[in-house]
Amino acid sequence: MKELKAFFGNRLPNNLNYMKIRNIYRFYLLIYVLLFTSCLTFSQKNHMDEIKIGSNIPSFTLPDQNGNLFDINSVLGKKNLVIYFYPKDDSPGCTAQACSFQDQFEVFKEADAVIIGISGQSVESHKEFAIKHRLTFTLLSDVGNKLRKQFGVPTNLLGLLPGRVTYVADKTGRVIYIFNSQTQATKHVDEALRILKESK
């Protein structure tokens, strides 16, 4: 209590050193409160706008691994969609996940589903990743993570690691399932197939 009074009060009005230090602390406290409030407001807004089960997949256009613009409207209303956000090309978990999607490519095709992988790397990085692991499905380059933020994909490790989230949408473009796991990379494939089979 004494510390609070000393911090907010004026116990030593004639002590210039004390007054200077107190005012510096007050200034940084004010900055902290303002930043915290701004982050909280931004987080709540993003949470309200994020894609959830029952949401419709928003319209977007991004370049694929071949440098061609991919418009989601070209498949919306025609195909089931498996849209997965992953952290980084060629990392161990992302490679395992992508190769698992590729291994089940024909099964997804039979379910009339399109696989779309999205991360923040460049078109060139996606191209190298696709060639190296013989990936034939679409990889989209979301440089700046604008679409990731629009979907509301969470981050891990205090915001340092982009999240790994899969969205399954039906042919109307409505999200019917979301799977969020950073560590269970290949389970995203199993869960997407399970939901597509159950929704038939």
Three-state SS letters, 126-160: HHHHHHHHCCCCEEEECCCCHHHHHHCCCEECCCC
Phi then psi dihedrals of residue 35, to 5 deg: -65, -45
Q: Which of 72, 94, 178, 189 is catalytic?
A: 94
- Please give the span between the terminal C-alpha atoms of the chain, in angstroms, as a whole number: 64
- Whether 94 sits among the annotated catalytic residues: the reply is yes
Task: Tell me how far apart the alpha carbons of residues 132 and 197 are, in angstroms, rounded to a whole number.
Answer: 30
Contact 192, 117 (CB under 8 A): no
Return the active site residues.
Answer: 94
